[in-house]
Every structure is written in C-alpha cells, then in structure tokens.
C-alpha cells in the first residue's frame, strides 16, 4: 500500500490521500473513511468528497476552532489534520458492509450516437463490433462523481480500449453520451463540452435535481452496460434508487 498523507487544500479544506493509483482497494479505503466520518461526524466538517484515492473534507474554520481544542499556536487546519490522523489510525471496516450495488445501463451504439466509434476502432486496430464487445465485457466500478453534476468516472476498461482524450474537445454532446478516455469510461449527464471519445448513448437520466438523490449513481457502485437498438432507445424505463 502507498504511503498516505493529509494536506491542506487552501484554508477551508483538507485532503486525505491514500495514493495516486487506480485501484478498487484504495477506492474502498476512501469510501470507508467517508462512511466513518458520516457515522461519527466532526463538528464543522460540512462535506466529504471522494475521488479515486483521496477524500477531501470541506470545513468551517470557526466551528472547527471551537470544537477541536488544541495547543495555542496550532492552526485550525493543523488541529483538524491531527484529529483526522488519529481517526485514520483506528481500524476502519475494510470494504462496505453490504456488497456494492450493481446496476445495468442500456446503451445504444448506433453511428448517430457513437460519434467516435470508428476512430476508437482504428486506434485499437479492431472492428467497431469488437470495440462494443470489449466495452460490454466488463463490470465497472464508479470511482467518483465529478466534472459536472452526475458524471461518473468508471473503470477500468480493457487495455485495448485505452485511448487518449480528443485533441479538441467537442463544444457540446447530448446528455447520456457514453465515452472513453484512458482506461476509463463515463457518461455525460448534461449537454456539456466533452473531451472524451463518445461511443454510444444511454436513454437514461443520470442527474435530476427534482429527485432524491439527484444523482443516480454514486461512488462505490458497479455498472454493467447492456446493448440496445434504436427501437428500444425511447422505450426502456429507468429505475431510480
């Protein structure tokens, strides 16, 4: 396991870093700490945000100052870091108590939706159908939600699908666009600029502020893709957690 550390992200946030690699174990460790902090919150800590191998805590310095006594001369940031360090020494349950929830997401890979499928196939030296087969062949872990509301960073894809981001990002892609970059796959939940290679589209909604939770996926979930044709695109109904 890589050495872990705590560093300040400005004067209102701290990051606990468990490493810098793409690994399910590190991701589990991050989510375990997040759960532990939710179960036994530190007063003044307002949000915990997981990433691949880091958990970032946003806090209100005035509240933390009042709630965490420390020697004079020690900053609030240092006090909170010291407290967190002690918390991290305590054994945290490895892995989540329940097995990760698996969801299956329908994807239509028709050329109108899979804008970069041909390019990915050329890059990988295979046919479009082989690219689709490889994309369907794995169960992916949601490492984090970021970039824009509801965008899941998922991995890891088959090494043969490893492809760089587009040199020039698209100005706009349609919501539901399924894309590849590096050894990752993701879904654009909103009409946004997009730097990843778009290979298909899901008819499902990933982000809806009117629902609870607003975000359909969350870090730690597992995702499989199911191929659908154009005729099914409008007719698949979506469960919401």
Partner 1 sequence: MALRMVKPGWMPALQDAGRKGHRAQGMPLSGAMDPDAYRSANLLCGNHPDAVALELTLHGASLMAEAEVWLAHVGGGSLLYINDVPAPMGRLLRVAPFSLLTFQPAGRGCRSYLAMAGGFAAQIDLGSGSTYAPARLGGVQGRSLQAGDLLTPAAPGRVLTARTQLSIPIGPDGWGAATWGMDVRLDPATAPDTVRVLAGAEWEAFSTEARQAFLEASFRVHPDANRMGYPLQGPALAAQGLGSMRSTAVCPGTIQVTPGGTPFLLMSDAQTVGGYPRVAHIFSADLPACGQLRPGDDLRFVLGSISEAEEALEGRQQWFRGLEASVRCRFDA
Residues that bind partner 1 in the complex, under the rule CB under 8 A: 7-13, 15, 17, 20-22, 46-54, 56, 58, 61-62, 75-78, 144-151, 153, 182, 190-192, 207, 209-210, 213-215, 218-219
CB of 190 to partner 1, least distance (A): 6
CB of 234 to partner 1, least distance (A): 22
- Give me the DSSP letters along the chain: ----EEEESTTSEEEEE--SS--HHHHHHHHHHHHHHHHSPPTTEEEEEE-SSEEEEEE-HHHHHHHS---TT--HHHHHHHHHHHHHHSPPPSS-SSPPPEEEEEEE--TTT-TTHHHHHHHHTS-HHHHHHHHHS--EEEEEE-SSTT-EEEE---GGG-BPPPSS-EEEE-TTEEEEEBTEEEEE-SSEEE-SEEEEE-SS-SB-TTSSSSBS--TT-EEEEEEE-HHHHTT------
CB of 81 to partner 1, least distance (A): 10
Preceding amide of 90 cis, omega within 30? no
CB of 205 to partner 1, least distance (A): 12
CB of 27 to partner 1, least distance (A): 11
Nearer to partner 1, 76 or 132 (CB): 76
Residue 145 near residue 215, CB atoms below 8 Å: yes
Nearest-angstrom CA–CA distance, 221 and 104: 11
Nearer to partner 1, 108 or 145 (CB): 145
CB of 76 to partner 1, least distance (A): 5
């Amino acid at each position: 396991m890589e050495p872990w550390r705590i560093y300040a992200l400005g004067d209102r946030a701290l990051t606990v870093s468990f490493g810098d690699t793409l690994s399910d174990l590190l991701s589990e460790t991050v989510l375990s700490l997040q759960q532990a902090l939710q179960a036994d919150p530190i007063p003044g800590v307002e949000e915990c945000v997981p990433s691949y191998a880091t958990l970032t805590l946003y806090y209100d310095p005035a509240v933390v100052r009042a709630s965490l006594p420390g020697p004079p001369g020690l900053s609030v940031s240092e006090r909170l870091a010291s407290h967190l360090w002690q918390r991290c020494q305590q054994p945290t349950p490895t892995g989540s108590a329940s097995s990760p929830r698996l969801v299956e997401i329908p994807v239509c890979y028709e050329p109108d939706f899979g804008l970069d499928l041909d390019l990915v196939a050329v890059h990988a030296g295979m046919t479009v159908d082989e690219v689709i087969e490889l994309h369907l062949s794995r169960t992916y872990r949601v490492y984090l939600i970021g970039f824009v509301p509801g965008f899941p960073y998922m991995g890891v894809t088959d090494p043969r699908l490893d492809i760089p981001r587009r040199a020039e990002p698209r100005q706009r892609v349609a919501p539901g666009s399924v894309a590849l970059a590096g050894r990752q796959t993701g879904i654009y939940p909103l009409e946004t600029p997009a730097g990843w290679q778009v290979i298909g589209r899901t008819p499902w909604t990933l982000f809806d502020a009117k629902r609870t939770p607003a975000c359909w996926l969350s870090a730690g979930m597992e995702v499989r893709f199911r191929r659908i044709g154009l005729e099914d695109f409008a007719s698949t109904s979506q469960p919401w957690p």
